[in-house]
Structure 1
Amino acid sequence: MPTVGLGGSCYWCTEAIFRSLAGVEQVRQGWLCACGYDEPSEGVVVSYDEQIIDLHTLIQIHLHTHSCTSNHVLRDRYRSAVYVYNAEQGIEAEACLMLLQAEFDQPVITRVLDFEAFKPSCEQIQDYYYSNPDKPFCRNFITPKLQGLLEKFSDKVDQSQRAVIEAEVGQISKGRAEMTTKKDYPLEHDTVKHEYRMELDKDTYALITYSLEGNVLHLNYSEVPSSLRGQGIGEILMETVLTRIRDEGYKVLPVCGYISNYITKHDEWHDLVAD
């Protein structure tokens, strides 16, 4: 059975994308090493039935489900690549990338690299999404990606996985509708405490804290009240705060993992990241 390595965003997201596809027999998440590179990068190893899904389709889906045209600040950790196991597969992957470039307005930065080694992540976090799709990270980051997968590649999604995705999309949509139609949440920038506070209700806030160095805000911490997590408040907070930061003329360095992942997955905020 053919196998290929794929990397470009966090391995939890990438694993969920390819676990959702008909014809994919196994997905393992972890760190991929490529010939000629000293450091590994997050990614997945995918084994598939080429009678059901071919390499071209796998690469096409990969390009459309991560920021394949963005050489952002986290690219060392999330190398955009197709890891091939032999010369023949490498030639085919290069040809696929050339053909698929026509589907993007900007140059695709994804590279074809020779697979060298793979180190799986710990067993407890394998199959991260489908073991518990209600986790906050799954709802805030992975389910929206899978919703996009359904919209663009509906015919490639396995039917049993489709049911899980659609159920989660429904729950998130319901929660967001309840929160976002309630009111516009006021945002306060406290320059003394170095925090942005978004008021959700009386004495209830979501917030982002920072440290200031010149014109750069080091975004150190984000918090949404535990009772409101998984309802899209984190994304509302990020969009509201980053819009204010842009208006105020600052640049940012995302220190908090949640903030870093959010910016990585949303191209429209990449220009805010300090060099």
Structure 2
Amino acid sequence: MQIKKAAVQGFCFGVAITVKKAEEAIAGGANVTSLGNVVHNPQMVQSLANRGLKNASSVDEVDSGALFVRAHGLPLEVFESAKEKGLNVIDATCPMVTKIHVQAEKLKADGYKIIVVGDPHHPEVKGTLSHVPGAWCIETVEDVARLPRASRVGVVVQSTYSGRRFAEIVKALTSKYYEVRAINTICTDTHNRQTEAMQLSKEVEVVVVVGGKTSANTKHLAELAEMNGARAFHIEGPDELRAQWFEGVERAGLMSGASTPGWLLDSVAQRMEELSRQLA
């Protein structure tokens, strides 16, 4: 079985920056706590925890030391609470996420009613909404029909959202509102991976996508691969691979989400090769 790897793999630059900052923060044994997992990858989260990075669900649980802001960012009120408590804030928000905040604020200053497209429960979206109080948040094209009327709407989108779905939503918004200013804030890395998922899935029979089960961008990659005719399997590590997935398969594709370290992808590739030899 031939295994074809995606050209874009491993950490995106935003996650790479965040992980590096986290490793530097805990290197000296400092008291550092993150609100939620630093990245959506269980192996990387465990690695950082083993080296001393703590995890909390609320800033109320952090009484001293440093508060680490993960790649997704945090709502403004959390930054304010941390400041009031005298915590040292290490801000590792992805630059692409910060760009969304800036774009949303500018649209609001220009008089647009803001619509944020994305998962309202995702930490990135929660952070974006805190920058534009009163904004509407929608997740699907069906949500457009339920929005109130407005004369001018400005739109930004979660950085890891599906490009295809965003285009559908913008089209629906354009049909409903007189003026729509939509800014595609899907990050370049997400766009490139989604494009590659569509291309790779046309060249192979099976696509294995490696990434955390809670990773939005990884889920979208698996969805795109299936939409384009390949069987797709979303896994977190090599132990989840099953030989029957590759029975009779001549070409298999391998790609990863933005929070997946390169070494993990290599271990999955090695296991796929072992299974291929067993089936030969």
Q: Does TM, scored on the shorter chain, surpass 0.5?
A: no
Which range, TM-score by smaller chain? under 0.3
Q: TM-score, normalised by structure 1?
A: 0.27
The structure richer in helix per residue is: 2
The structure richer in strand per residue is: 1
